[in-house]
Amino acid sequence: MRLELKHIHKHFGAVHANDDISIAVESGTIHGLLGENGAGKSTLMKILSGFIHRDAGEILLDGRAVAFKNPAEAIRAGVGMLHQDPLDFPPLTVLDNFLFGREDGFMQNRAGALADLQRFSRQFGFDLDPDALVSSLTVGERQQLEIMRLLSLGAKILIFDEPTTGISLPQKIKLFETLRLLAKQGMTIIFVTHKLQDAEDLCGKVTVLRLGKMTGQVTHPFTADQLVRLMFGQSLETRARASVALGEPILELRDICVADYRLRVPEINLQVRAGQVIGLAGIEGSGQRLLLRACAGLDQPVAGDIWISGARMNRQPYRDFLERGVAYLPAGRLEEGLVPGLNLTEHFILARRSREFFIDWRAAQDAAQSRIGEYSIRGVPASRVEALSGGNQQRALLALLQPNLNLILLEHPTRGLDIESTMWVWSQLLARRQRGAAIVFASADLDEIFEYSDRILVFSGGRVARALNAQETSVQQLGELIGGKGL
Amino acid sequence: MDTNFVILTFASILAESAPLVFAVIGETLGEKSGVTNLSLDGTILLSAMIGFAVAFTTNNLYLAFLAAMLVGALVASIVAFSSIVLKLDQIAVGFVLTLLCGDLSTFFGNPFVRKPGPAVPHFAIPGLAEIPVVGKIFFDQNIVVYLSVLLIFAAWWWIYKTRPGLKLQGIGERPAAAFARGVNVNAQRFIYTLIGGALVGFGGATYSLFVKLGWSYHHTYGIGWIALAIVIFGGWHPIRGALGAYIFGGLQSVSSFAQSAFTDVPTQVFQTAPFALMIIALLFVSNEALDRFFSGSPVSRKIWNSLRGTPPGALSTVFEQE
């Protein structure tokens, strides 16, 4: 089905979220929609899939003008959207999810749905247990379920909103394979992303948005540099790494074993010296988070010793970890890191750990204002943290860190951030490192692991590989280790 | 203890738990859709009182039950309107309604206190009632008791076997996803809350016209809270919820036997004991505890999986379209 968007406009209050956007996509092609956070990609796709209404402009499907009142109408017309966080029902089973929204009679036609599900599974080589709860699936598997569901409803145009966020490397490969197959079958695919590599690998044509406007359209072959210039207006360069003199050992793990109810990772040995950066690589949920939380003093390791700056820290209270200059930034920025409902000023006051009973609000406000400027947070002292974008929440979290830290533990430090925020976050972290902090971070982004780590610890299938020297490791090697080869 | 005595005990538990079953199923339906109707204790009081008053004045039981259902639906419609349209806090509105309805039942119920009135007549199902043991327990009761048992399975069938039932689960779990699949979330929530309220009202009238005949000050006080607790105990599953109601009914029977056995203990102890025991049961019977208990054999595992319940993901929240 041929898709044409013509002169789409959308305002949210004073913000012109979509300003005269026109895109045409032929059937059987994969069209990339690229832009940093807040560029207007999601708005445009929500308009196309019926979640929100446009202010002006036209949507044409095979030359016929359409106006969708809601997502159900869009899917009936053949437009289906896969959301970044799959819009499904985690407590229900795979089959229930697949059934939901099909209109064929009063009783649930489970046999018919099962046959359909199996047919699609065979076609794409997916392997989902129809009776499994969706909550037990990975994001990648939930995407597979959504793809099959939308196809079974007759979708001809599929929108993928940042589908590679939060899925593992093998799943990403599988996803790309599926997308190419769908295109071959004549589907029209729109691939929304902020990752250059993904756009390069997959898309025949890419439209770039910036601050609500279309900045350009490129056709394969194109270079990453071209895309970056369209996204940011200028080309960003990754700076060469400054060398840092290594200091005292800060963190030492001796035969640590971490475990939760489903996973057990034994024999982790690691020494981290001041000024070192350690990357924890591997498929999400392979124990990286468990290790970070153990190092932060939030969970107890099952066995082994944790030494921080020469002191054995097993079973010590979290407070002692804080006093030794340990800080932990979790992936759930809003859920675990910040306090939704409180504003920036209040956060800075809480982080100050002062003993005063009364608060000097004026001084606090001024202090918050200067901190906001210093960390270039897009917000005001009275902004509630939940109103900030992901990048600004991460900036706020960094601004909340104590000034003299010895060990910074981070989980997905730049997940969901645009390139500018990503580079900013790392410039902050590297500055901390210059001042003698050791950094341990987990990331699903291999480029990030390679770019910033001195040494890499690979987690795979309940095991940890010996720490690798980042300079001497190839992507190929790392990919194999993550996939469980050679461990 | 002779068998006849045991059979009669089970029959009486089935009968006396009937109002609680109506209330639990009604509230389960509403909460499955995402709306908590916290006003149960007040709704049951008011509908019990109105049901009795209508039966007393008209001598027509059909009208009495209908009026009680209307009262239940009316109170529920206030909860639904204020939470769905006005987007107020469901808990606050429900709590205020609990107090209001309780007081209204006292105020309007004054003329009917301790008056003898009509009761639901006994109706043994011919043939079936003669079956040994089972007949006595299940088929030698009255229409209302039969309805309460039927309702349990009807609710189960509706939620888990029909397409509208799947939608009901969806709007309570993740309304945004249900909306994306073409469900009119707020209209559905309104309807289920109303139906749930009507069932609670039916339960109220079942008290005053059958289980605890007549009307007096705070006639059914506390039952609504127990019903709310049983919905949680039941994991938002109609069959498990009904089991909870029967366990509570069983506790009440045990304590009334104990009362006649230990005459020197104050009667209040036995009247309140089931409530306390139920709370203790709730403390221990969590999903995890049951998980462990049932994970022994594949058969028990299967039974448990079919009864397993978690709170609806969007319980007590407001749904707004973007």
CA–CA dist B237, B245 (Å, integer): 12
In a domain, residue A333? The reply is: no
Residue B278 pLDDT exceeds 80: no
B1 confidence band (pLDDT: 50, 70, 90): low
| Sequence-separated (6 or more) residues with CB below 8 Å from residue A432 | A405, A408, A439
For A117, A173, A356, B2, the CA distances from A125, given in Å and listed in that order, are: 12, 13, 63, 63
Per the CB < 8 Å rule, is A91 touching B161?
Answer: no
Question: Average pLDDT in the B164-170 region?
Answer: 95
Total domains present in chain A: 3
Q: Are residues A387 and A421 in the same domain?
A: no
Which neighbouring-strand residues pair with A191? A32, A160
Query: Per-residue pLDDT tens for A104-163?
Result: 789 999 999 999 999 999 999 999 999 999 988 888 899 999 999 999 999 999 999 988
Per the CB < 8 Å rule, is A89 touching B176?
Answer: no
CA–CA dist A207, A222 (Å, integer): 12
Please state which of the ranges A437-451, B31-45, B135-149, B226-240 shows the lowest mean pLDDT.
A437-451
Q: Which residue has the higher pLDDT, B318 or B148?
A: B148
For A263, A406, A441, B231, the CA distances from B274, given in Å and listed in that order, are: 42, 57, 54, 16
Per the CB < 8 Å rule, is B174 touching A101?
Answer: no
| Residue numbers in B near A75 (CB within 8 A) | 181-182
**Cβ atoms of A310 and A324 closer than 8 Å:** no
| Residue numbers in A near B182 (CB within 8 A) | 70-72, 75, 101, 103
| Number of C-beta neighbours around residue B195 at 10 A | 18
Q: Which stretches of chain A score pLDDT less than 70?
A: 37-38, 166, 232-243, 261-262, 476, 479, 483-487
Q: State which residue of chain A sits closest to B177, comparing Cα positions.
A: A87
CA–CA dist A126, B47 (Å, integer): 54
**Cβ atoms of A287 and A462 closer than 8 Å:** yes
Q: Which of A46, A52, A69, A108 to mutate to test the interface with B (most CBs of B within 10 A)?
A: A108
Q: Are residues A189 and A211 in the same domain?
A: yes
| Residue numbers in A near B179 (CB within 8 A) | 70-71
The Cα of A89 is separated from the nearest Cα of chain B by a number of Å equal to 6
| Residue numbers in B near A106 (CB within 8 A) | 162-164
Q: Are residues A377 and A450 in the same domain?
A: no
In a domain, residue A75? The reply is: yes
Q: Are residues A300 and A358 in the same domain?
A: no
ipTM value for the complex: 0.87
| Sequence-separated (6 or more) residues with CB below 8 Å from residue B103 | none
Per the CB < 8 Å rule, is A72 touching B173?
Answer: no
Q: Are residues A277 and A321 in the same domain?
A: yes
Q: Are residues A78 and A215 in the same domain?
A: yes
Residue A233, pLDDT score: 66
In a domain, residue A331? The reply is: no
Per the CB < 8 Å rule, is A87 touching B180?
Answer: yes
Q: Are residues A410 and A392 in the same domain?
A: no
Pick from B162, B179, B321: which is nearest to A108 by CB? B162
Q: Which of B181, B288, B308, B321 to mutate to test the interface with A (most CBs of A within 10 A)?
A: B181
CA–CA dist A9, A182 (Å, integer): 30
Q: Are residues A264 and A223 in the same domain?
A: no
**Cβ atoms of B30 and B188 closer than 8 Å:** no
Q: Are residues A301 and A289 in the same domain?
A: yes
Per the CB < 8 Å rule, is A46 touching B161?
Answer: no
CA–CA dist A159, A43 (Å, integer): 12
DSSP B133: T
Residue A235, pLDDT score: 46
Of chain B, the percentage scoring pLDDT greater than 70 comes to 98
A316: exposed, middle or buried (C-beta count within 10 Å: 0-12, 13-18, 19+)? middle
In a domain, residue A153? The reply is: yes
Please identify, among A195, A215, A232, the residue that sits at the C-terminal boundary of a domain. A232
Where are the domains positioned within chain B? 3-221
List, as own/partner pairs, every contact residues B287-296 make where C-beta atoms lie below 8 angstroms and the sequence separation is at least 24, other chains included: B287/B235
| A451: containing domain | 238-325+404-487
Interface contact B164, partner A, CB < 8 A: yes
| Number of C-beta neighbours around residue A125 at 10 A | 11
| Residue numbers in A near B180 (CB within 8 A) | 51, 71-72, 87
Q: Is the dihedral of CA B39, B45, B47, B48 positive or negative?
A: positive
CATH of the domain at A242: 3.40.50.300
For A10, A27, A60, A101, the CA distances from A24, given in Å and listed in that order, are: 18, 10, 9, 29
Q: Are residues A227 and A245 in the same domain?
A: no
Q: State which residue of chain B sits closest to A46, comparing Cα positions.
A: B322
Interface contact B170, partner A, CB < 8 A: yes
**Cβ atoms of A199 and A32 closer than 8 Å:** yes
Q: Are residues A103 and A149 in the same domain?
A: yes
Q: Which of A44, A76, A87 to mutate to test the interface with B (most CBs of B within 10 A)?
A: A87
| Residue numbers in B near A96 (CB within 8 A) | 166, 169
B285 confidence band (pLDDT: 50, 70, 90): low
* DSSP assignment string, A28-54: T-EEEEE--TTSSHHHHHHHHTTSS--
Per the CB < 8 Å rule, is B170 touching A92?
Answer: yes
- Count Cα atoms within 13 angstroms, Cβ side, for A259: 9
Pick from A70, A88, A106: which is nearest to B163 by CB? A106
In a domain, residue A198? The reply is: yes
Residue A242, pLDDT score: 60
Please identify, among A401, A428, A443, the residue that sits at the C-terminal boundary of a domain. A401
Please identify, among A178, A207, A232, the residue that sits at the C-terminal boundary of a domain. A232
Q: Which of A95, A98, A100 to mutate to test the interface with B (most CBs of B within 10 A)?
A: A100
Q: Are residues A32 and A181 in the same domain?
A: yes
Angle at the Cα of A266 from the Cα atoms of A260 and A270, rounded to 5 degrees:
115
Of A89, A237, A166, A109, the C-alpha closest to A415 is A166
Query: Per-residue pLDDT tens for B258-267?
Result: 888 888 888 8
In a domain, residue A332? The reply is: no
Residue A244, pLDDT score: 74
The Cα of B309 is separated from the nearest Cα of chain A by a number of Å equal to 9
Per the CB < 8 Å rule, is A108 touching B177?
Answer: no
